Amino acid sequence: MQQLQNSSDIWESLKQTKNLLAFSGGVDSTALFYMLLQKNIPFDIALVNYNTRENSKNEEAFALSLAHRYDKLIFIKSVKLEGANFEANAREIRYEFFDEVIKNKGYETLLSAHHLGDKLEWFFMRLVRGAGAVELCGFSQIEQRGSFSVVRPLIWHTKDELLEFLTQNGYKYFVDESNFDEKFERNYFRKHFGEELLKRYKEGILRSFIALEEDKKKLLPTEFQQIKSLYIFKRDENEMRLIAKIAKFFKIVLSKNQQDEIAKLNSCVVSGKIAVGKNSGFVFVSPYLKDTVMDKEFKESCRKAKIPLHVRAYMYKEAIDPKAFVG
Pairing label, strands 282-287, 274-278:
antiparallel
Residue pair 175/25 in contact (Cβ under 8 Å)? The answer is no
How far is 32 from 28, CA to CA, in rounded Å?
Answer: 6
Q: For residue range 131-144, what is the model confidence (pLDDT) as tens digits?
A: 777 778 888 898 87
Q: Where are the domains of the chain?
A: 2-217, 225-325
Residue pair 279/308 in contact (Cβ under 8 Å)? The answer is yes
How far is 244 from 309, CA to CA, in rounded Å?
Answer: 20
- What pLDDT shows up at residue 15? 93
Q: For residue range 92-125, what is the model confidence (pLDDT) as tens digits?
A: 899 889 999 999 999 999 999 999 999 999 999 8
Residue pair 251/95 in contact (Cβ under 8 Å)? The answer is yes
Structural class in CATH, domain 2-217: alpha beta
Each residue's pLDDT tens digit in the chain (327 positions)? 334 434 558 899 999 999 999 999 999 999 999 999 999 999 999 999 998 878 889 999 999 999 999 999 999 999 987 766 777 788 889 988 999 999 999 999 999 999 999 999 999 988 888 877 777 888 889 887 777 889 999 999 999 999 999 999 999 999 877 666 677 787 888 888 888 999 999 999 999 998 888 887 777 666 788 888 899 998 888 889 889 989 988 889 899 899 999 999 999 999 999 999 999 989 999 999 998 999 999 999 999 999 999 999 999 999 999 987 765
- What pLDDT shows up at residue 226? 84
- From the list 29, 39, 120, 117, the residue with the least C-alpha distance to 67 is 29
The CA–CA distances, whole Å, from 240 to 55, 194, 257, 260 equal 41, 30, 13, 10
